Structure 1
């Protein structure tokens, strides 16, 4: 395997963390385990990780605080929350702090592995695109994974970045919800949730809300698109 992906597992349940570590190692990944928030914080600062699995209820420093901290230090690293908390507000809090995905315990390892592969594959696909994408005063630097608008830096999560790249790379073209699910979430079916609408809202708050000119548009019944002006 040419590239060995390094994954940080911040999980205080010894049996679960051991199972995840062993299974990931068997699949060819390098997996490090931190049993509390303080150790996870130290390991994240010392090593370069490709993805983080983060439990919310960690000793010393909880997962939500770590999620916020990790996101501030690295705007593109995928962060998947592992937790027994399945309430909608818990998920919203995690997403607002920068989490890219959320999986509720108990779960099947195959489901976790599928989500990990989606994020790592997406990161690889983006790394192959070297050019900058420009729409009006919005600029996406694909090599450095940065986004600016009118010269102002905009911090996006990995999933927000993937969605913005999809829309901007197809400037003026309406992208259906199904296409977004397939290309950003790697799903071939509609989950029946409003996940896409939520992420479009996240993007609009960051990309459009502070500016007079709006770039992210909706074509009712068809999908979403990025363009300097709305389609007639």
Structure 2
């Protein structure tokens, strides 16, 4: 399957880089541009499947960039990401050919969910619904539903992110430091015990604790999260 190609256009490089980095964690290809002219140049050479576009850009603003993209004949989906929250701006962005409009400050998780929705709606050739699976454990990254067989698991946001990271990397063994860096994204010092606590809660939920799941619990489900002593944790069907 080809990777989704994302162009992120924002005059604030840290924001553009953040969105691009998160997209790469999703398995996408991502490039950035910090001006309207650079955005058009990048679009011409990169041929993105979807564009995140700020309105307030040096030189050509976001509306002008969208107009020129449409005049060039490309119908690439465009999601506006901007601090301009007026109704007139929202209406203009959508009526001039934008596919969605998100106001800053924003949650990266919401932006990625909107991008996936726009891609699915536009039926882009590089996009497929993202469902992770290990044995009978499945995770739908669009709906954020996690199931063990037929059981729907109720996870906290942190539990979800830890499990998603383990499932994405399965069958690779991940250290506590890797999990901390990926999920918490800032220095926790030596507090690796927070990973142990989250892993412990996930194990109870995956193995059928009736207080933490919905549906019929099962007592005979094999353990999926394994500890590799001296290394870290891994999600797989059978322990080595």
TM-score, scaled relative to structure 2:
0.50
Find the aligned partners of 1:27 and 1:34 in 2 and give their Cα distance. 20
Structure 2 partner of 1:15: 14
2:31 aligned with 1:32, yes or no? Answer: yes
Structure 1 partner of 2:97: 98
Tell me how far 1:73 sits from its aligned partner.
2.5
Tell me how far 1:47 sits from its aligned partner.
2.3
Find the aligned partners of 2:52 and 2:115 in 1 and give their Cα distance. 9
2:66 aligned with 1:67, yes or no? Answer: yes
Deviations 1:166-207, CA, capped at 9 Å, x for gaps? xxxxxxxxxxxxxxxxxxxx9xxxxxxxxxxxxxxxxxxxxx
For the residue of structure 2 that corresponds to 1:113, the secondary structure is helix
Tell me how far 1:17 sits from its aligned partner.
1.0
Find the aligned partners of 1:72 and 1:100 in 2 and give their Cα distance. 16
Find the aligned partners of 1:14 and 1:91 in 2 and give their Cα distance. 23
Find the aligned partners of 1:105 and 1:125 in 2 and give their Cα distance. 26
Tell me how far 1:121 sits from its aligned partner.
2.0
Find the aligned partners of 1:10 and 1:43 in 2 and give their Cα distance. 10
Q: CA RMSD, aligned part only?
A: 2.2
Deviations 1:90-133, CA, capped at 9 Å, x for gaps? 11111222111100000101100101111222333889xxxxxx
Structure 1 partner of 2:110: 111
Find the aligned partners of 1:125 and 1:17 in 2 and give their Cα distance. 22
Find the aligned partners of 1:110 and 1:53 in 2 and give their Cα distance. 14
Find the aligned partners of 2:111 and 2:77 in 1 and give their Cα distance. 13
For the residue of structure 1 that corresponds to 2:59, the secondary structure is coil
Q: Which runs of 5+ in 1 are unaligned?
A: 128-185, 187-232
2:57 aligned with 1:58, yes or no? Answer: yes
Change (3 A) 1:125 1:59: closer
Structure 2 partner of 1:83: 82
Q: How does 1:144-163 map to 2 (within 5 A)?
A: none
Change (3 A) 1:123 1:41: same
For the residue of structure 1 that corresponds to 2:123, the secondary structure is helix
Structure 2 partner of 1:6: 5
Find the aligned partners of 1:55 and 1:66 in 2 and give their Cα distance. 10
TM-score, scaled relative to structure 1:
0.52
Find the aligned partners of 2:25 and 2:112 in 1 and give their Cα distance. 12
Q: Which runs of 5+ in 2 are unaligned?
A: 127-142, 144-240
Structure 1 partner of 2:122: 123
Find the aligned partners of 2:125 and 2:60 in 1 and give their Cα distance. 32
Find the aligned partners of 1:44 and 1:66 in 2 and give their Cα distance. 10
Structure 2 partner of 1:42: 41
